[in-house]
Chain A
Amino acid sequence: MGYSQALLTRVKELSGDNDSRVSVRNGEITIEPDRGSFIPLLKTLKSDPDTCFEQLIDLCGVDYQRYGEEAGRPWQGDRFAIVYHLLSVSRNQRLRVVVGVPEDDLKVESVVEIWRAADWYEREAFDLYGILFEGHPDLRRLLTDYGFVGHPFRKDFPLSGHVQMRYSEEKKRVVYEPVTVEPRVTVPRVIPKGA
């Protein structure tokens, strides 16, 4: 995977010529626009003949709460982020767009109007991280159980969860109970010094 210099130049132009917002690593271009103004940028990226990103390949949430904790260098930016991976089939190029979302205002504008593929991806990100997508036509939970409480992919949600279920012979139905599994770490997380 690589990127073309022409795309990099064009993306820099479109995102306001701000070098700190455009980065290149591992052969991939990442831009980090503001939450308030990224929708027009995405629309331009889709319609501009030089970028022409017709496809939203992926959309996901990230929770940075425990990022770099073991190394003693906590995350400085917004706690959450929404990551868009765009693909242009006609020009064979890719782009990553990262939009930060602060913890006290968990809202992002929906991109369903731009790419229909965003529908389920946004439902998934809402389900797993609790981020609200404004303008989404049908923002329901997608992957978790009917009646699930909480947002399981947040870093403060325990791996073993909060409830477990079983069939109760007395009540003749499935009951939910507090989880009895003890969280267990077999291999601790380590970040070596200087990494």
Chain B
Amino acid sequence: MTEIRNYTMNFGPQHPAAHGVLRIVMEMDGEVIERLDPHIGLLHRATEKLAESKPYNHSIGYMDRLDYVSMMCNEHAYVMAIEALLGVRPPVRASYIRVMFDEITRIRNHLMWLGAHALDIGAMAVFLYAFREREDLMDCYEAVSGARMHATYFRPGGVYRDLPSEMPQYAGNARESKKDIARRNEHREGSLLDFIDGFTERFPGCVDEYETLLTDNRIWKQRTVNIGIVSPEQALQSGFTGPMLRGSGFEWDLRRKEPYEVYDQLEFDIPVGTAGDSYDRYLVRVEEMRQSNRVIRQCSDWLRRNPGPVMLDDHKLSPPARTGMKEDMESLINHFKLFTEGFNVPEGQVYRAVEAPKGEFGIYLVSDGANKPYRVKIRAPGFPHLAALDEMSRGHMLTDMVAIIGTQDIVFGEIDR
């Protein structure tokens, strides 16, 4: 009788379904996975060590580059940790702006996830639909910060500046007709808030479109139902958070359980799965997009009615007005100190977490009283998820492993840090 042996197979790091630079060494029995060992660290940039060598504000931009599809949520955890040590609270308007952009970020992340996940398991069109809406949200980022992705918009003590009163418009080019240009600028006549309101009106219809393509799609269900089942005990043991935990039936959301900023004053529901498989997590995330849309709407209404400061009037933390610096010695000193030295944070340690689109994104900050953090630990939600990939994929076929990576919503920026 011939002896049948398992063989070892390498997957990635250059593979489109690996979502970046994941390398997996798999032990296969035919087409079934016996065991797999993810090799990570190909994108390791020592973000934490870099942050320890720079003044606090210089690292806000690094936070964008961790989970590079949910930028502002990462910034949010970082500035919240600094604020906790400083003992300051941002103005209410800044809190609403932060929450609004957190939710915009959540939709952006879920659109990216949905498109890539569907593409991984064979549905091309969803990707194109999802990126259509994602482009509008990128424009919101750009309008408020000048950058489409890496915004560096949040600051300890508030946000960098208030929402713009005009939405930038397309200039068009010689090949485009006036009618085309007018059509592209259709929603851009008013302020950023008008644009966002327009988006929140269009978006539920867009989610319906994605659902039409996927929710009852036979192929989609064959690829996701009963794939990568996570039992509640397993989810707790492996340190799962976010949709990975909610998909297994826990109603756990930091926005509700440990409300930060103004989440306790906003209305939204927390979707929960029952089976803990990839399909349930898909349903959870799609519903989260609808709920985020609701939250954005409420924030936008509040922001229209309540003008006010968006940054603390403390020139130890925020730069003084340009005009003041030309007349006032105090402002000049504050400006010079802030830009050459930064600000000092009292000694202590703190852990602050936000409900990022992928799960709990936390920052553990140790300060010895200096103008630079002594230790920054980034608790990335994807890290424990990927660590459990072995457990989730055992006994599945090779192609299902791709679906499981998709459902985990892996981004290497945050895992490798």
Contact = CB atoms under 8 A, between A and B. Distances in A.
B351 A96 contact: yes
A187 interface: yes
Interface residues of A, number: 44
A62 interface: yes
A89 B272 CA distance: 14
A143 B40 CA distance: 6
Contacts of B369: 68, 71, 191-192, 195
Given A57-B239, A89-B252, A191 B84 contact: no
Contacts of A117: 237-239, 384, 387
Given A96-B351, A115-B239, A152-B49, A68 B368 contact: yes
Contacts of A120: 383-384, 386-387
A51 interface: no
Of B257, B342, B366, most A-chain CB atoms within 10 Å: B366
Given A92-B258, A187-B55, A143 B372 contact: no
Interface in A127-162: 141-145, 152-153, 159
B416 A143 contact: yes
Interface in B224-256: 236-239, 241, 245, 250, 252
A65 B55 CA distance: 19
A94 B225 CA distance: 34
B387 A60 contact: no
A85 B352 CA distance: 11
A116 B237 contact: yes
A191 B260 CA distance: 30
Given A89-B245, A116-B239, A117-B238, 10 more contacts: A26-B85, A55-B236, A63-B375, A67-B374, A144-B41, A185-B53, A187-B54, A190-B344, A191-B344, A195-B346
Interface of B: 40-41, 44, 46, 48-50, 53-55, 58, 84-85, 236-239, 241, 245, 250, 252, 257-258, 260, 340-342, 344, 346-353, 360, 362, 364, 366, 368-372, 374-375, 377, 379, 383-384, 386-388, 416-417
Interface of A: 1, 25-26, 28, 30, 54-58, 60, 62-63, 67-68, 70-71, 83, 85, 89, 92, 94, 96, 115-117, 119-121, 141-145, 152-153, 159, 185, 187, 189-192, 195
6 contacts: A58-B351, A68-B347, A116-B238, A143-B41, A145-B41, A190-B341
